[in-house]
Chain A
Amino acid sequence: MTFTTFFALLLGGVITGTFGALLGLGGGVLLIPFLVLVLGIPIHEAIATSIIAVIATSSAGAAMNLERHTVNMRLGMLLEIGTVAGAILGGVTANLLSGAILTRLFAGLLLLVSLVMIRRARAQRGKEPIHTDGVLPGTFVDDATGETVRYTVKRIPGVLGVSFLAGNVSGLLGVGGGIFKVPAMNMISGIPIKAAAATSNFMIGVTAAASAFIYFANGHMNPIVNATAALGVLGGSYLGVRVSRKIHSGVLTWIFALVLLFISFELFTR
């Protein structure tokens, strides 16, 4: 490795970490294309690096979000049963499907989710419907408005099923799975998007840790690449969480939807 590659890795980590924390993506969906297409790192090594970066983003972001009480910890723990089981099964499924089929399935799902999110963002016009007749109540202060938001969770089995799918995709492709969980928690369970993003971010580290040991055992970890990207992502995730306090939910939904559309297009045209 040269000093130029080192600084490129560090900068790439900072940028993807910022967006990962801001959008509840975990950074993996942005980091893998950067590592493979820009730096020419082999895909297995890139996925392993992404998983390490995802753990760093999730852990750093979750520590801050827990203290701000944006995370619905009990819901997160419950959904982790689905994501961890899904991640384990994902490793098995990856051996049964070809990479091309997986890539197109992933692109199709991203496109679907992004279109639903855009429809919802246009309909809600920045104001989210809040349910108070569910379970696992949560309360947090929205820094953008200064308002205390109280909500409850509805239709847990539905979002648990999506969490299993998210964990499965995480195990297959090395992404955090927040791209599925955040909209599902928001649309199915009626959780405000900031709480959904924080709770998803909280869960992502555990999901990624489940597959990280498999990559370690298979010798796909390059410690210099992993550590440089992870430290960059750590810096970026701190920045992303601070910026997210000042952004309105409606704006966040729009950014999230557009990022998904872009990634979907990139995957379809590969």
Chain B
Amino acid sequence: MSREAPIETELLHTVERKASWVLRLGVWSSAALMTAGLCVAAFRSFQVTIPSPSPSILDVLHRLGSAVFDPVTLLYAGLLMLMITPILRVLAALVGFSFARDRTFVLVSLVVFLLLMGELYYSIRLE
């Protein structure tokens, strides 16, 4: 983090491009899933049943794994995809800084990633 040893600009730009790519991929795949879910829901005049209580994160993943593609599952899958996109971006930064051999920011990215993993674990336990 000091002025004397910054990682080279081109390496930093490479990390930025990778992170940008991850964000685009996450946003577009999430948008595709949500648009598909909304189109099916609109075709049914939005008369779809939202399960109560809401499905757990693991339930949604299980339904997707079982190739169940009803509108509600597609919408939940799109939401989950959007929610994990920033986490994937942190992971991309962690990998990118590792390749750039920037130890300080490998550590910084790792701390952020572990905080998010702890939060995700807590949420799954809460369900």
Interface residues, chain A, CB within 8 Å of chain B?
1-3, 6, 52, 55-56, 58-60, 62-64, 66-67, 69, 71, 73-74, 77-78, 80-81, 84-85, 88, 135-137, 139, 152, 205-206, 208-210, 212-214, 216-219, 221-224, 226-228, 230-231, 234
Q: 18 A-B Cβ contacts within 8 A?
A: A56-B82, A59-B85, A63-B20, A66-B20, A67-B20, A69-B13, A74-B108, A77-B90, A77-B93, A77-B109, A135-B1, A209-B83, A209-B116, A213-B119, A214-B123, A216-B79, A221-B54, A224-B46
Q: Are A60 and B16 in contact (CB under 8 A)?
A: no
Q: Are A206 and B42 in contact (CB under 8 A)?
A: no
Q: Are B85 and A55 in contact (CB under 8 A)?
A: yes
Nearest chain B residue, comparing its CB with the CB of A153: B1
Q: Are B16 and A135 in contact (CB under 8 A)?
A: no
Q: Mark B6-35, 1 if CB is under 8 A from A, else 0.
A: 100100110111011101101100110011
A17 to chain B, nearest CB (A): 12
B51 to chain A, nearest CB (A): 9
When distances are taken between beta carbons in the complex, the residues of chain A under 8 Å from B30 are 56
When distances are taken between beta carbons in the complex, the residues of chain B under 8 Å from A221 are 54, 76, 79
Q: Is the interface of B mostly helix, strand, loop or mixed?
A: helix
When distances are taken between beta carbons in the complex, the residues of chain A under 8 Å from B48 are 224
Q: Are A230 and B82 in contact (CB under 8 A)?
A: yes
Other than the known A60-B23, A231-B31, what 20 A-B pairs have Cβ atoms closer than 8 Å?
A3-B46, A59-B26, A63-B24, A66-B16, A77-B90, A78-B105, A81-B111, A85-B115, A137-B3, A206-B116, A209-B83, A210-B116, A213-B57, A213-B119, A214-B119, A214-B122, A216-B57, A216-B79, A222-B50, A224-B50
Contact of B115 among A67, A135, A210 (CB under 8 A): A210
Q: Are B27 and A59 in contact (CB under 8 A)?
A: yes
Q: Are A223 and B20 in contact (CB under 8 A)?
A: no
Given the known inter-chain contacts A206-B86, A210-B119, A217-B56, please indicate yes or no for A78 contacting B31, CB distance below 8 A. no
Q: How far is the CA of A222 from the CA of B50 in the complex (A)?
A: 7
Q: How far is the CA of A231 from the CA of B15 in the complex (A)?
A: 27
Q: Are B27 and A234 in contact (CB under 8 A)?
A: yes
Q: How far is the CA of A212 from the CA of B123 in the complex (A)?
A: 9
Q: Are A73 and B93 in contact (CB under 8 A)?
A: yes
Q: Are B13 and A216 in contact (CB under 8 A)?
A: no
Interface residues, chain B, CB within 8 Å of chain A?
1-3, 6, 9, 12-13, 15-17, 19-21, 23-24, 26-27, 30-31, 34-35, 37-38, 41-42, 45-46, 48, 50, 52-54, 56-57, 72, 75-76, 78-80, 82-87, 89-90, 93, 105, 108-109, 111-112, 115-116, 118-120, 122-124, 126-127
B59 to chain A, nearest CB (A): 11
Q: Are B27 and A56 in contact (CB under 8 A)?
A: yes
When distances are taken between beta carbons in the complex, the residues of chain A under 8 Å from B42 are 3, 6
B22 to chain A, nearest CB (A): 8
Q: Are A217 and B123 in contact (CB under 8 A)?
A: yes
When distances are taken between beta carbons in the complex, the residues of chain B under 8 Å from A62 are 19-20, 23, 89
A205 to chain B, nearest CB (A): 4
Q: Are A209 and B84 in contact (CB under 8 A)?
A: yes
When distances are taken between beta carbons in the complex, the residues of chain A under 8 Å from B116 are 84, 206, 209-210
Q: How far is the CA of A217 from the CA of B119 in the complex (A)?
A: 11
Given the known inter-chain contacts A63-B23, A205-B85, A224-B50, please indicate yes or no for A218 contacting B16, CB distance below 8 A. no
Q: How far is the CA of A161 from the CA of B20 in the complex (A)?
A: 27
Q: How far is the CA of A137 from the CA of B17 in the complex (A)?
A: 18
